[in-house]
């Protein structure tokens, strides 16, 4: 793996960001709106609910972590879409760039773009809504790690899907987080779900993060073994996602889709 090639993918994204207000704004505007909206909703719930539960860390903290996952996923897909929109596949895949270097470049781009969103969210929630992430302690690190890894894996799967199905399939990508969210137990314990849904939840690394987050806030011990399992599961998801993308790429090279991507399908 050559550093220059990874850097080229990141630099391309940086050039695009630098020259385009429309690309920079979405990095933090939507997450900021989400934080403000959920911040006030949770404050209101605190005033009307009979229970002593503090809704701010339960809901606002969950929304922040979930938005971070979405930003990571979109960081990968947006960088990939730039090649789709500029019809750049032929130029880029005719270079010595390997698939691992290309995917590595997408991941590095995502780290840069999602960090901006995370900083804005943390700043807003801590300053405006007094949400202290210190209450999570050092466990915040594995929480973010699991969500980051899962966001990367879903971003890679989404890119592979668009590579296989063509530019028009882009709209499949946007609802993916919304489809996963009920299974991940972002706002409620997994036990709330019917049994068949819980089976899917156990396969989703974020589900363990949100369970652990609620345990901390309820003053209960966190099952560290489950958190470690979720990290392992998230790495497994990355491997599967990479294998999926590599397979889609090989299919595109075999059928000629890379050379004539705008045709969408040659079958």
Partner 1 sequence: MTFKENIRSEEKSGSSALGVSKLCKQYRNVMAVNDVSFEVRSNEIVGLLGPNGAGKTTTISMILGVLEPTSGSIRIEGLDMVAHRSRALERTNFAAVYAPLPGNLTVYQNLRVFGLLYDVKDLAARIERLLRQFDLVAFRNTKCGALSSGEQTRVGLAKAMLNRPSLLLLDEPTASLDPSSARDIRAKIKAFVAEDSCGVLWTSHNMFEVGEVCDRVLFLSHGKILLEGDPKRLPQEYGKETLEELFIAVAREPLTLEG
Contacting range for partner 1; rule: CB under 8 A; set: 30-38, 115-123, 162-170, 252-260: 252-260
Which residue, 22 or 178, is less far from partner 1 as judged by CB? 22
Min CB(175)–partner 1 separation in Å: 26
Distance (Å, rounded) from C-alpha 121 to C-alpha 123? 5
DSSP code for 221 = P
Hey, how many other C-beta atoms are within 10 angstroms of the C-beta on 167? 14
Which residue, 192 or 262, is less far from partner 1 as judged by CB? 262
Distance (Å, rounded) from C-alpha 54 to C-alpha 120? 23
Number of residues that bind partner 1 (CB under 8 A): 33
Q: Is 97 in the site for partner 1 (CB under 8 A)?
A: yes
Q: Longest C-alpha distance within the chain, in Å?
A: 63
Q: Are 231 and 205 in contact (CB under 8 A)?
A: yes
**Contact map string, positions 57 to 96, toward partner 1, x by CB under 8 A:** -------------------------x---xxxxxxxxxxx
Tell me which residue of 86, 238, 45, 92 sits closest to 152, measured CA to CA.
238
Q: Is 4 in the site for partner 1 (CB under 8 A)?
A: yes
Distance (Å, rounded) from C-alpha 202 to C-alpha 190? 9
Min CB(84)–partner 1 separation in Å: 11
E runs forming strands in the chain: none
Which residue, 36 or 92, is less far from partner 1 as judged by CB? 92
Q: Is 265 in the site for partner 1 (CB under 8 A)?
A: no
Q: Using CB under 8 A, list all residues that contact partner 1.
A: 2, 4-5, 7-8, 11-12, 15-16, 19-20, 82, 86-98, 250, 253-256, 258-259, 266
């Amino acid at each position: 793996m050559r550093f220059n090639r990874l850097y080229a993918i990141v630099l391309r994204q940086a050039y695009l960001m630098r020259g385009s207000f429309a690309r920079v704004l979405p990095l933090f505007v939507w997450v900021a709106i989400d934080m403000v909206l959920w911040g006030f909703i949770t404050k209101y719930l605190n005033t009307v609910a009979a229970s002593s539960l503090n809704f701010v860390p339960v809901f606002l903290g969950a929304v922040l972590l979930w938005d971070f996952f979405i930003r990571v996923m979109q960081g990968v897909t947006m960088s990939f879409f730039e090649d789709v929109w500029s019809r750049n596949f032929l130029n880029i895949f005719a270079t010595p760039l390997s698939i691992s270097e290309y995917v590595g470049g997408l991941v590095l781009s995502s780290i840069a773009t999602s960090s901006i969103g995370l900083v804005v969210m943390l700043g807003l929630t801590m300053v405006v809504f007094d949400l202290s992430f210190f209450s999570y302690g050092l466990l915040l690190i594995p929480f973010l790690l699991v969500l980051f890894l899962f966001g990367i894996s879903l971003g890679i799967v989404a890119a592979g899907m668009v590579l296989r199905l063509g530019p028009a399939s882009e709209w499949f990508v946007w609802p993916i987080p919304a489809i996963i969210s009920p299974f991940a137990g972002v706002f409620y314990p997994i036990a709330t779900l019917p049994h068949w849904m819980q089976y899917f939840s156990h396969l989703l690394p974020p589900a363990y993060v949100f369970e652990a987050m609620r345990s901390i806030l309820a003053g209960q011990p966190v099952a560290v073994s489950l958190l470690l399992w979720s990290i392992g599961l998230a790495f497994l998801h990355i491997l599967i996602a990479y294998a999926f993308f590599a397979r889609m790429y090989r299919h595109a090279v075999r059928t000629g889709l890379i050379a004539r991507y705008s045709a969408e399908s040659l079958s």
